[in-house]
Structures are given as C-alpha cells and as structure tokens.
C-alpha cells in the first residue's frame, strides 16, 4: 500500500470516528465536529488521487489545482486538530490573548474553524512544530504554492515530482497529527 492509499484509509477512519464523537468527547468539541464537513475533508483528501494519477504529465494548470488541493487538506487537518483540542485552544487564548492573533475585529476569540491558514500556521508554532523547523518550512511552502491559484503573475508552484513528494510529506504530517490526537479511551473517563 502506498502513502496516498494509507492517507485515504486513515483519513476516512479518523473522520468517521470523530464525526460520531458525541458521548465520548466534550460537548463543545462534539458540537464543532458535528457541524464540520468531515465527509468533505475525506473527499478532498481522496481527490488528491486525481493529480497523483496524472503524475508527471500534469499540466501547469492541473499542478496549480493540485497545489490548492493539498493546501486545503493541510488547512482542514489543522482546523480539525484545534476543534478536537478546543479546551486547550481556549486556554491558549486566555493565556496569550492576541499574541496569537486569534482575536477578531470585534474583540472576541476567533473560533479555530474560522482561522485562516496563516493564523493556523502561526498558532501552531510551539504546539505542532517549532519555529524554523522543517515542518514549518514545508507548511509555508504548501501555503505559498496553494496561493498560486492567484496566478496572474508567475509564482513558484514547483514541479509535478515535487507535488508527488509533497503527498508523501502530507502522509507524514497526518500521521504526526494522528499521533497527537487523544486516545478515545481518555474521554470515557472524563465527566462532561
């Protein structure tokens, strides 16, 4: 089984499990996950297969769309992660406030599912990766290349092979996120 197939299977399993989290997850986490489009998260992950199948024969236009696809998957995983750890997210907000730039123009905390890719990336420094780490460099590259959809002037979107390599990195990224998810058994002993 290749990384893409494993990524699709794991994404389906994780999204399926957490979309039915009421009863084992905190109420506000379950509320967020029930509203989230976890089925679409899975479908967007699965659609990476379109670009993988085209492989090295992708046109530049297809490569731009492939970059948008992988960027959407990364952003969605980050939102998913912070919805699961919603209580910790709130505590970070209380501790650091606007140091994380998660306060809306109205002075309220921005909910994790409404954070931009940039805000998610910055908020994750010190939590999911360290500043100047290889992971952060990869996330920034994914973000930059995803923004290539605004293509009026030339942007570095990389090559078809680099995209395929990034799918391999995406699988590692998702495995890292998965390793950081709380074991469901932990929730059964909490009183929510």
64-102 pLDDT, tens digit per residue, is 999 999 999 999 999 999 999 999 998 887 776 555 556
pLDDT score for 92: 82
- For the chain, how many residues are written? 192
* φ/ψ of residue 129, rounded to 5: -155, 160
Could you tell me how far CA 92 lies from the centroid of its own chain? 19
pLDDT score for 104: 63
Quick one: which of 43, 125, 105, 104 has its CA closest to 76?
43
Quick one: which of 39, 34, 31, 32 has its CA closest to 15?
39
pLDDT score for 140: 97
Contacting residues for 28 by C-beta, under 8 A, at least 6 apart: 86, 87
pLDDT score for 56: 97
Please give the average per-residue pLDDT across 49-76, as a whole number: 97
> Does 185 score more than 80 pLDDT?
no
pLDDT score for 192: 44
């Amino acid at each position: 089984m290749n990384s893409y197939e494993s990524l699709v299977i794991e994404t389906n399993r994780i999204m399926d499990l957490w979309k039915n989290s009421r009863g084992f997850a905190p109420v506000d986490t379950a509320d967020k996950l029930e509203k989230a489009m976890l089925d679409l998260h899975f479908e967007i992950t699965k659609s990476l297969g379109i670009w993988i199948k085209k492989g090295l024969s992708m046109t530049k236009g297809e490569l731009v769309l492939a970059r948008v696809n992988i960027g959407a998957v990364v952003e969605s995983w980050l939102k998913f992660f912070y919805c699961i750890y919603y209580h910790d997210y709130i505590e970070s907000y209380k501790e650091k406030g606007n140091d994380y730039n998660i306060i809306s123009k109205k002075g309220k905390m921005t909910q994790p599912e409404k954070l931009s890719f940039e805000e998610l990336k910055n908020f994750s420094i010190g939590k999911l990766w360290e500043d100047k780490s290889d992971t952060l460099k990869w996330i920034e590259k994914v973000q930059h290349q995803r923004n290539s959809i605004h293509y009026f002037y030339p942007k570095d979107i990389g090559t078809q092979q680099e995209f395929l390599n990034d799918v391999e990195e995406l699988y590692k990224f998702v495995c890292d996120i998965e390793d950081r998810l709380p074991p469901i058994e932990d929730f059964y002993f909490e009183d929510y």
